[in-house]
Every structure is written in structure tokens, then in C-alpha cells.
Structure 1
Amino acid sequence: MVAFSDEHHMLRRLVRDFAEKEIGPYTVAWEANGSFPAHELFAKMAALGLLGLEYDPAYGGQGADHLCTVVLHEELGRVGPAGVALGIAVQTDMATPSLHHFGSDELKQRYLVPALNGEAVCSVAVTEPDAGSDVTALRTRAVRDGDDWVINGSKHYVTNGTQADWICLLARTSDEPGYGGLSQIVVPTDTPGFQVQRRLDKLGMRSSDTAELTFTDLRVPASNTIGTPGLGFYQQMSQFQNERLALGYIAVGAMETALTRTADYLKVRHAFGRPLIDNQHLGFTLAELSARLDMLRQYNYAAAEAYMRGEDVDRFATVGKLQAGRLAREIAATCLQFHGAVGYMEEMWTARFFRDSPVWSIGGGTDEIMLYVLSRLDGYHA
């Protein structure tokens, strides 16, 4: 059993209070708007030290342990909406880890510090129209011209993309085929040649913006390269680990709330002269889902402890996200069903959770990619 300290419990209360005050009441408005005000919200989070929990204090981080990250995302998932939790996780665990771990001091001072201080919104751009799961098929190209990169191409499904001040871009920087020709580059969005082509209309996670971006003869200094040119694929795979762990933590919080709210509803909704919760089938179903959720939660905690020990958590992150995505879809469908007709109405949280739940099986790597990774890790695939 993971040992949360008094400091972790204090952080949990802090995040929960913040989310209930600064996020929860605006769910309907942000869902309708298709985004949340990232600059405003991130500034408030930064004032509480919530945007750089594990990062070096020299760059505005808190120097905390990974259990603090677990607490942050569980609580954001618990309060919801999931789209906002996802947008925050992009800032904290998807767009910034590579810069923190591999970027030069100058690059971190220029871009990481404002991100952790809540002064800049950032995003990560990997997927393209013809290259999603197969990262080696990326076509966005950065060509060296003197001291600059000249970038051309497009990226899809970029969360925070319409509001971002800078992008962690994965692009092809050489003619070397496969993994070796890719690099990560910081691209400020006020650079000529950058354009938000359109904001995408999504099934779920509607409270966060997702964009299609284009880069046309966009010129940035070669010094904006994160780490070593040609190692971008490996850096991005490391960054994906953080992403998958964070998604798993958010999912646990969201599923716990869904089960609790459904049980509360079944206690007050009567049929045939008694509360619905008295129906043994309903109670047993929720109990089984709760048991499976607890197993996932403990698995996440084991992953977090392994991460803090400096171990390779590739398998942990892969298994956790795979199971989180599958369980989230099942819990979402069950909660909606147990609410009956009212659960099918858009005015109910069940409809939003049902629409949001597929993302955990798509974002950060589909279920099929997770199974492919696991089959390779476990020797079930050549």
C-alpha cells in the first residue's frame, strides 16, 4: 500500500478545493464554449504551485515527488469535467517533460519558466493526417537553413492548440528513415507561418479545445531543438510515458466520482415502492466495478512508486492506460443505463461522461497500440 504523507493529503485537499471552486461551477459554460480559459486558469494554478510539481525549482517547479502528480490528476479527474483535466495534463505532463529533461538551460528559461508560472499555455503536436499511431510516418519537416529550422507541414488533434503560446513539435529533421530522423522543436505560435487551421468539433472532452495546425515556411532558431537532433522519437516515447500515467490517474478520479454519483442517485430514485439501490443486481454491479477500479488505483500507485525509484515504467504505463480506457467505457455505459431515460439527457452528467470516456482508449496511444507494445514487451510478438 502506497504511503501518502500528511503533505500529500494536504495537497489533495488543496487541489479538490481549487477544482470545486474554480472548475466545477463552470462545466456547463466551458462545455458549451468548446474550451476553458487556459491562461486565466493556469495563472491561478501557478499561484498555488500546481503546474510544476515535480520540476526543478530553478525553473519555477516545486521539486515534489511523483505521488504529488498522482494526487493532482486524481483530484482533477474527480471534480471534472474531464476535458479540463486533460487540458491541464497537457501543460503539466505531455508538452513539458521533454523540455524539462532534455532542453538546454536557455530553452528552459525562455519557455518552461513561463509555462510553470502560468504565463504561457503550451501543447504537444505529434499526430498528422496520415500518421497517428505510426510516428515514424510523420511528414512535417524541418529543414536546416543556416542557424534556423524552416518548418512545413500540419498536425491534427492538438489539445490546447487554439490557445497555446508554444508547441512541442515532433518533426522530421533529416532524410534518415524511421526513428532516427525525428527531432523535438519548440515552436512559438506567434511565429509567421503558424496557423490554427480550425478548431475541431469533438464527440466528447468538449471543455478543452483541440486544433488542426499548419506550418508554412515557419522559421525558428535551431537552438529551439529540445535535446539532440535525431533523438526526438525516443524523447517523445519517454514523454508518452508521462502522458499515459497522467491519463490513468485522471481516469481513476473520474470513475470514482461516476460510481459515487450513480449510487447516490439509486438511493433516492424509487421504483416499485423501494429505492433502486435495493435491487441486488444494481448493487452487485456497482460493487464489482468499484472493486476493479480499486485494483486499477493500486496498480497506478505501484507504477508511481516504480517511477520514483527510477525504474522503467513502460509496461506499467501501458497496462494502466489500457485498463483505464476499457474500465472507463464500461463504467460510463453502466452509469448511464442505471440512470434510465434521464441519464440519456444532455443535461445530466452521465451523458457527458459517456461521451468523454472513449478518449482514454484513444489519446496517448489506442488500445490496439497498447496491446502491440505489451505483446512486444512480453514476448508475444516478434
Structure 2
Amino acid sequence: MTAQRALVTPDLAASQRRILAVLVAAQILSGAGLAAGITVGALLAQDMLGGTGLAGVPSALFTIGSAAAAVSVGRISQRFGRRPGLALGYGTGALGSVGVVAAAVADNVVLLLISLFVYGAGTATNLQARYAGADLAAPAHRGRAVSTVLVATTVGAVVGPNLVTVMGDFAEGLGIPALAGPFILAAIAYAAAGAVLWVMLRPDPLLLARAAADTADHAAGPGIEPSAARTWNPSVVLGTTVMVVTQLVMVGVMTMTPIHMQHHGHGTGAAGLVIAIHVAAMYLPSPLSGRLADRFGPRVVAAAAAVTMLAAGVTAAAAPVHSVPALAVALALLGLGWNFGLISGTAIITDAVPLATRARTQGTVDLTIAIAGAGGGLSSGVMVAATSYGWLALLGAAISLLIVPALALHARRV
């Protein structure tokens, strides 16, 4: 018997179904928290910091915070299991959301910057949860397991941006600036997601997967230890490259879209609608992406990510400035390309990393992804201030094509 076969016994299959159900519930809640920073973070920064050039600062800060949290969540999960790692990450994201609201009330820029950094832990945890869905999945179903966790985020992430006006009115009724309203929702959503995982994510998927693998290895007799495998092998590098490129392009274009719309007379409601469509496209196609990855291989889906991101950049650059539908199409393509990249990259890495080092490696990979997102968010405002939104979109389209030579190089090496 092999370790892979041990992971598909009836008892483990039942545990996997329960684990996925708990993860889905937590992701629905956390999706609303995730959407807050995407929708109004740049607008809040523009009001408090002044100037379009600094509008990318919130995205950069909570992405840098996401990077730091990704490593922490990965290391905690490696040592103690997914449950404490994910629950602590969401709790930290809730704390950061409360800090953003307090900073807006006090008009304190320093507190805003610190709180946005802490808020990024929620984003990191939302993404790390996809790995928990794959821990017990059979290799042939790994793409679908990851996609199940991701698609659950859609509900909260789509509802969240459309509550911008409602939460703004609610916040103003409490004497809080309207743009801080979505962060009130984020605090509640992240705290609830953390509580669900802490109470209900039993058995722990990573610990159970390790136990099953240890049993299988013992039954198989002496052999090569899984931990002896090279962690940063060509497949891990490829999966990381795919996710880094798609994250960089997605964050850069997405961050400046609400600002671009505001500068051309669109209100926060229209921006919220476009972002809601974008976030839906980031997560809703996950079942399709997962099935494609399982059937045709994750490398084919990675190539589709490059083509889709290229189309998104060109469409965004060509969209008439007063056309909300055109921008919505561009942002939908942007989200779909990101989805293809995330699911294919995750599947490539999970297949290539042994259980003995899996969570730690995944945390390091997500650190790299988050740094790329921070770079995209921070540089996007500077580039738009120096050139235009259209040039930013075209640059993103060009960068997305870097996935193609990465795939070719990996094919040659492997």
C-alpha cells in the first residue's frame, strides 16, 4: 500500500467531506471580509492620504501583511495543524479591520497604515484555506477539492462589495466615516470565520493526512523518506511563477479600477458592482477550473491563465471610460485569469511537495505571491499618476505572457 492510496480509504473520504463542509462555511463568511479592502481601501486612502499616487498604498500594505501572515499561518499549521493556523489568521484579520475603522474615526494615518498591514492576515488565511481542502484529497480530485474551497468565497465576496452603500450609511449613523463601513463588516466576518474553524475543523486535515501517510509508509516497509525530496524542485518553481504573475497583474489592475472609475464620474455603487463582478469571476469558475486541471493537467490551465489575463489587460485598456459594462467585462476576465492561475499553481505545488514539509513550503510560496501583489498594488498608483490606467492595463497584459516561457522551460527540465 502507498501513502497516496491510504488517503482515499472510506473513513478518510468521510472526513474529507466533513472538512470541506466546514471550510466552505468559513470561506463564505470570510469572503465578505476579503471584499472590504478591495472595494474601498484605495478610496479611503485617497481621502486620508491625498492624491492618486498614494491610492495603491492600502493594497500594498494589506498585501505585505498578507505576506507576513502567510509565513506565520504556514509555520503554525506545519507544527500544530491547519485548525489553529487558520483560526488565528482570521482573528488577526478581524483585529486589523477594527483598527481601520478606529483610524478613520480618529483620522489617524499612522494607525490606518498599521491596521491595513494587520488586516492583510485575513487575505492570507482566506487563500491558505485552499491547501486545507487539498490535504486529504486523492491526486485525481485535488483540483476539484481546491476549487470547492475557493468557490465558497464567492458568496461573501460578491455580497460584500454590493453592501458598500448600506454599510456606509450604517457607519455614518454611528458617527463613523462612510468608507470605513465595509471594514465593520470585515471585522464581524473574519471573527465569525475564525470561530467556525476553531470549533468545527475536526479532525484536522493536515494532521490526519500525515497520520495516514505514516501508517502507509510503515506498512510498505523501508523506503525513501518523503522529507528527503527536494522542496524547491522545478514543479514548485513553476507553480509559484504562475501564481506570482497572475497575482501581480490582478492586484495592479484591480486596485486602480475604482479610482479610474471615480475620476470619470462613476459613484461608489458602480465601482462596487464592477468589483463584485470581478470577485465573482475570481472564485465562481473554480469548479470548472478544478475539473479542467484534473482532466487535462494543471499546466494546460496555467496556459489558459496567461491567455485570459492578456485578454483582460487589452480589454481594460480599450474600454471607454464611461462604460461600466466594458470595465465589468475586463475585470471579469482579470478575475477568471487569476482563478486559472491560482488553481493550477496550487495543484502543481501540492503534487510536488511532500507532507513532511507541505504547510511550511505552502506558506513560503504564499509569501512570494503576496510580495508580488504588494508590488502590483504599490506601483499601480504611481504608474497611473505618471501615465494612465490604459497603460497600466497593457503592461499587465504583457507581464501575463511570462507564464508561457515558464511552462516551456519546465517542460524541457522535466
TM-score where L is the length of structure 1: 0.33
Q: Which has the higher helix share?
A: 2
Higher RCO by CA contacts (8 Å cutoff, separation 6 or greater): 2
Q: Which has the higher strand share?
A: 1
TM-score where L is the length of structure 2: 0.31
